[in-house]
Structures are given as C-alpha cells and as structure tokens.
C-alpha cells in the first residue's frame, strides 16, 4: 500500500487537515525557513553570530527533515511523535536563542511555530490513536 493509503487508514482526530492543506502550509513555510535558517548559518560561519545560536537551528532542520522518512517511510507514528516534539522544542530554542541577535529571524519563526504546535498536537493524537511500539 502506498504511504497515502496507509496514512488514510490511520485513525485521526476529526479536525485533521486534508493532506493538500498540509502541503500548502509547508509550501508557504519552507521559503521562510530557508531564508531565516540560511541567514543564521551564514552569519554563524562568518563569525557574526555565536555557534551556540545556530545549534537549535541545526537540530530543528535535521529533525524536520527526518519527520517524513520516519512517519511515511518507516510508518512509525510513535517515533514520528517523538521527532515532532524535538522539532517543536528546538524551534522554541531557535526563537529564544536568536532573539537577542536577530529579532526579525525570531519573529519570522512565529508562523512556523504556530503550525508546528498544531502539527505536534495532531501527531501526538495520531500516535495515541494508533499506538505502535
């Protein structure tokens, strides 16, 4: 079965957005993420930001990129729930860490943080409804 057939077969909360809506949201967020994360990494490489300010961004980027391979590739909703919590927590770390150095980057993360908060609650609900350890 394809991953979307598998996804459609999962028990999900009634408020779950349609896959097309989820894709649209990420299509809007990815350019913001690319611009702001790129800025942070370039400034860290140039020595204009401390590396400690870039670490939460690296953790967030890696955990964000791992979500779909874990969720759709491995089809492991429980491990994906752990991963999305890491995405959420590291994003909070990004905002708090970068704010003193580049407020515009912190503010630009607000839509991403809002969506990841919804996605985290959704993933935790899906994991609890489809427990697979």
pLDDT score for 133: 56
pLDDT tens, 53-91?
Answer: 999 999 999 999 999 999 999 999 999 999 999 999 999
Model confidence at 132, pLDDT cuts 50, 70, 90, reads low
Domain ranges of the chain: 20-129
Average the pLDDT over 121-132 and give the result.
92
Question: Phi/psi class of residue 96: alpha, beta or left (left: φ > 0; alpha: ψ in -120 to 50)?
Answer: alpha
DSSP the chain: --HHHHHHHS---TTPPPHHHHHHHHHHHHHHHHHHHHHHHHHHHTTSS-HHHHHHHHHHHHHHHHHHIIIIIS--HHHHHHHHHHHHHHHHHHHHHHTTT-HHHHHHTHHHHHHHHHHHHHHHHHHHHT---
Structure tokens at 73: 């590739």
């Amino acid at each position: 079965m394809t991953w979307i057939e598998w996804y459609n077969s999962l028990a999900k909360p009634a408020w779950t957005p349609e896959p097309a809506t989820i894709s649209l949201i990420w299509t809007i967020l990815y350019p913001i993420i690319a611009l702001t994360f790129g800025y942070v990494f370039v400034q860290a490489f140039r020595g204009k930001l401390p590396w400690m300010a870039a670490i939460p961004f690296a953790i967030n980027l890696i955990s964000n990129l791992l979500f779909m391979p874990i969720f759709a590739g491995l089809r492991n909703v429980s491990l994906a729930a752990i991963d999305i919590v890491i995405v959420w927590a590291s994003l909070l770390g990004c905002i708090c860490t970068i704010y003193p150095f580049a407020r515009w980057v912190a503010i630009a993360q607000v839509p991403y943080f809002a969506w990841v908060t919804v996605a985290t609650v959704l993933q935790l609900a899906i994991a609890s409804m489809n427990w697979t350890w």
